[in-house]
Amino acid sequence: MLHLLLLTFTGAPEDAAPYTAAHMEYLERHYGAGTFLAYGPTVPASVGGGIIARGVGREEVERITSEDPFVAAGVISYAITTIDLAQAHPALADLLAGS
């Protein structure tokens, strides 16, 4: 399974500032574990951010997103779209192995 995670600020983006360091640690932990393949801010950044996740089921990705310090602080909400890939470009084969 592949998951597209869309993060949206629930208020002013600057409300998230006190929690940014903990949020970055959260992102790096899941990136290092191979669950988060890529992440970054939206354009414009005032909307929120996005994450591509793989290798876990829907329930597990819901649990992971609930642990985000931004969620605990109430400054971000997640929308999760789960995709059961039918086809992927060969250039992505190694990247998506285990999805």
Q: What are 8-56's pLDDT values in tens digits?
A: 999 999 999 999 999 999 999 999 999 999 999 999 999 999 999 999 9
pLDDT (tens digit, 9 = 90+) per residue, 54-66?
Answer: 999 999 999 999 9
Q: How confident is the model at residue 99 (pLDDT cuts 50, 70, 90)?
A: low
> What is the per-residue pLDDT for 98?
61
Single-letter residue type at 92: L
For CA atoms 30, 4, 66, 15, the dihedral sign is positive
Residue 38, strand partner residues: 52
Radius of gyration for the chain, computed over Cα atoms and rounded to the nearest angstrom = 14
What domains can be seen in the chain, in order of their start residue?
2-94 (3.30.70.1060)
The helix (run of H) or strand (run of E) holding residue 59 is helix 58-66
